[in-house]
Structure formats: structure tokens, C-alpha cells
Structure 1
Amino acid sequence: MSSIHILGIDLGKHCFHAIAHNRCGVEVLRRKFNRTQLLIFLSKIESTTIAFEACGGAHWLARKCSEFGHQPRLIPPQYVKPYVKGNKNDFIDASAIAEAAGRPTMRFVAVKSEEAQVIAAIHRVRDSYIKERTATMSRIGAILLEFGLSFPKGHAKMKSLFQWLAEQTVSLPKSLLCELISIHEHYKYLNEQIKTQDNKLQTIVNNNESAQLLKTIPGIGDLTSTLCIADVSSPSNFTNGREMAAWLGLVPRQFSTGGKTKLLGMSKRGNKHLRTLFIHGARAVLSRLETTGKVFGEWLVNLRATKPFNVVVVALANKLVRIAWAVLYHRQAFKAV
């Protein structure tokens, strides 16, 4: 197998399809593996470049490839699609991956560490609890509406649900109250689980220097700092802060032709969750423009006076991302000029 230059693997849950190309781009291997067979195969071949799409399980396999002395290359799926020829099947996908990995201008995804994936998992579980809690609150409101009661919005009212019900003139069946008690207990359980996830993130921040540095930036708290260190494995993956902002989709989309530049709305590419947290951070700064927003000087004041609110939010989020990159790259806390 010394003729293998690039090995492209189409990842699956149980099956892995591999296509190997030599230095001339000629196919020299075509095989299907299960998970155990693939690891044995990778441990026996000589060191080479192994490419696959950045999807579920990709970072684990990339770390395994590194342990075997190979050079893993994770490719965004949208960059592989142009190289798919003819109809789609697993071997054609693997061949497209191998071909895409050989392009000199191809962009690759940085491999995440186990710690980074654990932090991302904590965020994912927390988000699932929040979605389930929102659904539970909506369920309670919908049930009460069927009995002529319009329940007010907000967690403050939800926590005192039965006190609010006691103040109403409408009497509810006892069997319905039993159902409401069960749902409300589930709501309280979800609150406890969310608090537990928040405590886990707080512990990570306390033990991680990079997260503590990020928290010195206005508008960045535990959520944004921990997810940033999880998803941005190394600031050196970006040439500058603008590249990181573009990676998060906080720059305008471009639709230029004939030498005429046309900029549209924000591209919304990249990591949606992290971009959302930076947007929320910018909104938090703008809500305290006279205090927290002072560190951004006249730039932010003039922008707020001349541009729509949402435009200012995105512009400030873009600046926060650039500052975050500089803080991580130079390993220095943020200091207002």
C-alpha cells in the first residue's frame, strides 16, 4: 500500500467506504470496512493523508489517524459536493473526498480535542433542556387556554403557577390539576438540569485560562467563552480576526460581477450556535450603552445614532469576534483604549 497518496473515506455509522489515489490521481484501492476493520487497516498502512468529511464521528477518527501517524484532513461537506461525478453512492463520495483533498486551495476543518468535544456536548445537552423547557411551558399554557385561562408569559409566573391558579375565578377539574402538577414537576426538573449544566460550564471557565481571558471582553460570559474555546481549537487557524468573523458568518454576502461590487446581508455561514451567542453578547452591550458600551468609544455611539439597531448589533458582534481572536492569539486580557 505504499502507492497510496490520499485515502478518501466516506463515513457511516457502521460502514466505511474507502478510495485511495496515488500521486497521479489514479485509483489504487477500493474497499468497504466496518469500524473495527477500518482501524486495523489504518494501523497497518504507511503514513499518508487520510481525508473525510467533517461530520458525526469525524473528529474521533481524525484523532485515531493521528495516533497511527497519518495526516487527517477534514473537509466541509459543501466543498466536496462539486467533485461528485454522476449518481451518488458511497464509493463515488469517497472518490470525491480524495479528489477534493488533493486540491491545493482546499480549506480544511481543524481537528477538535476530546476536551473541546466534551464542552460542545455540555452545550448541546443544555440546549436540549432549554428547548424541552420551552415546550413544557407552551404545553401548560395551551392546556389552560382550553379551559378559558390565558396564562401570562415568563418564568416568574410559571414558577408560581398554582398560586396564580388559586387567584383565578375559574375552577378546574381535579384530574386536570393532577396533570398540571406532573407537567410542572417536569418543568422544575428541567430548571435544575439547566442549572447543573451552567455549573459545569462555570467550573470549566474557572480552570481554563483562555476562557477567563475571553470573559474580560464586554458581552462575553461563560456560555460564549466556553463554546468559543471548544469550536475555535486554535486561533492560529485564522490569519486574523476578520477571517474568524467570516467563518462565523458575521460578514456581508457578496454577489459581484462585471467589476461591480454588490454586498448583501450577513452570510450566516459557519457555526450558528456560536454566532448566536456573539449576537446576544452584542445586544447585551447595547442595552447598557452608557456603561458597558463606553469601552467602544465614539465608534459605537455614532453607529447607534446613524444605523438601524440590528445593523449595529451585527457590526458590534463582528467586532467582538475580532477582539476574541486577538485575545486568544496574543494571550492577553482585553483592555479598553
Structure 2
Amino acid sequence: MDQEGKVLAKSRVSTDRPAIQNYLKSLDGLKPTKAVIEAGFNWSYFYDQLAEEIEEVCLAHPLKTRLIAEARIKTDSLDSETLAHLLRSDLIARAYAPSWETREVKNLLRFRISLVRIRTSLKNKVHSVLDRHQVEDNVFRGLTDKFGKTGMKIMRSLELRGNDRAILNGYLDLIEELSRRIAALNKQIKALVKEDEISSYLKTVPGFGDLLGLLLRYEIDNMERFASAKKLCSYVGIVPSTYSSGGKTWHGRITKEGNKWRRWVVIEAVHGAIITSPSLRRYYNSVKQRRGDKAATIALARKLLEIIYHVWKEKRPYYEKELAYTV
């Protein structure tokens, strides 16, 4: 589409890499300088393919762009022509497109989390096998971790009837292999933290360590995008939804905008912050007494994001001090 809105070419193209490259080459003099795609599943594949051939690629926020399109251009769906009209009119609501390097680190961290979740699932299955044979906890008396070296030896030496001996060994083999892979990933993560200045600051915040600090750093990627800590909280999706009608305003549940990983990191950090920080624990308990556990968790998550915002912006470690707060 040209600047006046005239469609110059419209085609259906296969999604494989050579087909995309050949299509762009076939345009010759019509080769575009800008392109736009919606931020849907696997957007990064198409984004990277276009970025190699085109001067600028815009990543459109699906919900916000749809609102603009329905207001400006009467259509029931955001097809390619509608997106092209919005692009030439500079009306695309853009989503943030992190660099390939950032996405690589995020994928590595998410991989590590997925392995831990699989290992936890396998541990639960081991407990089920032990329960079927009434294996009491006193068998593991004195052990802090049933799945440590001593605990694993004890479980492998248990006499179980039928197929459960082989089943238990199979689960334990998988757990040991996953633990080796997770340990190797932990070394990679520590090395990344040492090389990254921001991550070294974030891990000083209560509840955050190497993994959570690094994951949040790359899930946010660029703090300069946010003018305030409130904007950051909104981006993470832990601010209450708002409904207004007839001059009255109601606040509902949190918006949960954006991807789930950002919220998971902050909520996960809340549990550690309650244990390690007396000041944040008092804040959490004060909210909990008045509004309940869930509200207290979200309130402390927002407080942690406010701390993260200032630590990141000012590039300094976090130091514990008394928080001034009202409930």
C-alpha cells in the first residue's frame, strides 16, 4: 500500500522462510520500507524474517490496535489491509519487540523453570508410589531432603511388590537426570548475572535471587519505557481493573495484562520477601489483617515492583529500611 492508501499488491504467502524471502524479492520496485504484524503466537519468527529484508517492522498490540481499527475503520476483523491503513496513518498501537539476544536469555530461563516443574511433578509421583506401599516418613528420619543423595539411596533400596520397584527406579532416574541439567543451567544463569549489571542490583531486592532477578530483568528488558513505577505495575498486570459509569467508579480484579511470566516472577518473589525482609513482612501482615491474603500478596508485589523500578533506574543495590505505609 502506498502513502495514499492505494493497494499495490496483495498475496497469500506460505509461512516457511524461503517463501517469505522470495515474496519480498518478487516485489522489486514495490519492496516495502515498513511492515506490520500482530503480536500473536510465534510472532518472533515472522518478525525476524521481515527484519532481515525490510527497513522497519512494527509489532502491533492486538487488543489496542483492534480498538483503534474499529473506531477509525469500520471492519469486523484486523486483516492485512486494515493493518496497512493503520500503519500508513501512524495509528498502530505498538507492542514492545525485544531483541533476539533478549529473547534467547528469556527462553533459557523459561526452559529452566519448565524443568523444575517437571521434576516437581515426578517427585509427586514418587510420593504416590511410596504411599501405595505405606512407606512411612520415619524411614527418612534426619534427612532435610528426601531427594538428596542419602534419600535417593534409601528409596532405591526399598523392597516394593510388583512393578512398583521398576516404576520407582524409572522416576528416580528421570529426577536425577533433570537435576543434572538444572544444575548445569544454574551455572549458566550465575555467569549471566555476573556479566549483567542490572541483574546484580535486582538480586539484592528481598525475594529475588539469581534466577528471579535475571528473569525479571529480561522480561522487562528496558526500564526507560516506563515513566513511573505505576506504569511498570500496569505493564506487569497487577493493578486493579477500573469500571466507570454514571459518574461512579468501581475497581475490580487485577488486569493480568501482558505475559504470565512477569507476574509469576513478582508473585514468586513475594514469598521470599516475607521471609527475608522484616519491613516487607510487617507491610504484608498489615494488609492481610484488613483485606486478606490475596490482597496482601498483590499489594506486596506492587511494593516490590516500586523498589525494582528505583533500584534499576538509579543503578544501585537495595538496602533494607523501614517503609512508610498506610492501609
TM-score range normalised by the length of the shorter chain: 0.7 to 0.9
Alignment CA distance shift 1:282-1:191 (3 Å): same
Describe how 1:187-336 pairs up with structure 2 within 5 A: 187-288=175-276, 292-294=277-279, 302-303=286-287, 306-336=290-320
SS in 1 for 2:114: helix
Compared CA separation, residues 47 and 228, structure 1 to 2 (3 A): farther
- Whether the 8 Å CA contact 1:293–1:300 is kept in 2: the answer is no
SS in 2 for 1:254: strand
* C-alpha distance 164-335 of structure 1, shift in aligned 2 (>3 A): closer
Report which stretch shifted further, 75-84 or 136-145: 75-84
Q: Distance in 2 between matches of 1:104 and 1:257?
A: 31
Identity between Structure 1 and Structure 2 (%): 19
Is this contact kept in 1: 2:3–2:88, CA < 8 A?
no
Evaluate the alpha carbon distance shift between residue 315 and residue 69 of structure 1 in structure 2; reply closer, same or farther with a 3 A threshold.
same
Q: TM-score, normalised by structure 2?
A: 0.78
Of the three residues 49, 55, 62, the one matched with 2:34 is: 49
Q: Determine the structure 1 residue equivalent to 2:164.
A: 176
- CA 301–186 in structure 1, closer or farther in 2 if over 3 Å, else same: closer
Structure 2 CA distance, aligned partners of 1:142 and 1:97? Answer: 53
The answer as to whether partners of 1:110 and 1:233 remain within 8 angstroms in 2 is no
Partner residue, 2:13: 33
The amino acid that maps onto 2:21 is: L
CA displacement at 1:149 relative to structure 2: 5.0
What is the distance in 2 between the residues matched to 1:324 and 1:144?
43
Letter in 2 for 1:122: L
- For 1:89-128, list aligned pairs within 5 A: 93-101=79-87, 106-128=92-114
Alpha carbons of structure 1 residues 182 and 110: separation in structure 2 relative to 1, 3 Å:
same
1:70 matches 2:55:
yes
Cα contact 1:47–1:71 (8 A) shared by 2: no
**Matched AA of 1:128:** S
SS in 1 for 2:13: strand
Match of 1:134 among 108, 117, 120: 120
Q: Secondary structure at the match of 2:11?
A: strand
Structure 2 gaps of 5+ residues are 322-327
After superposition, the Cα gap between the structure-2 partners of 1:287 and 1:37, relative to the gap in structure 1 and judged at 3 Å, is same
The verdict on how the C-alpha distance between 1:279 and 1:103 changes in structure 2, with shifts beyond 3 A counting, is farther
Distance 1:331 1:103 in 2: 38
Could you tell me how far 1:64 is from its partner in structure 2?
Answer: 5.2
Q: 1:238: how far off?
A: 2.0
Mapped contact 2:199–2:217 kept (Cα < 8 A): yes
Q: Could you say if the C-alpha distance between residues 175 and 118 of structure 1 is closer, same or farther in structure 2, counting changes exceeding 3 Å? A: same
Greater shift in the superposed pair: 255-264 or 132-141? 132-141
With the length of structure 1 as denominator, give the TM-score of the two structures.
0.76
Classify 1:28/1:284 alpha carbon distance in 2 versus 1 (closer, same or farther; 3 Å): same
Calculate the aligned-residue CA RMSD, in Å: 3.4
Residue type of the alignment partner of 1:33: V
Give the deviation of 1:314 after TM superposition: 1.1
Letter in 2 for 1:70: E
5+ residue gaps, structure 1, are 1-20
- Equivalent pair of 1:286/1:313 in contact (CA under 8 Å): no
1:6: which partner in 2?
A: none
Cα distance, 1:27–1:300 mapped onto 2, change above 3 Å? same
Tell me the CA shift for residue 232 of structure 1.
Answer: 1.8
CA displacement 1:192-239 (0-9 Å, x = unmatched): 212222221111101011111212322222122212222223112222
Alignment partners' CA distance in 2, 1:233 and 1:103: 28
Q: Measure the CA separation in 2 of the matches of 1:79 and 1:57.
A: 19
Structure in which a larger fraction of residues adopt helix: 2
Inter-partner Cα distance in structure 1 for 2:311 and 2:32: 36
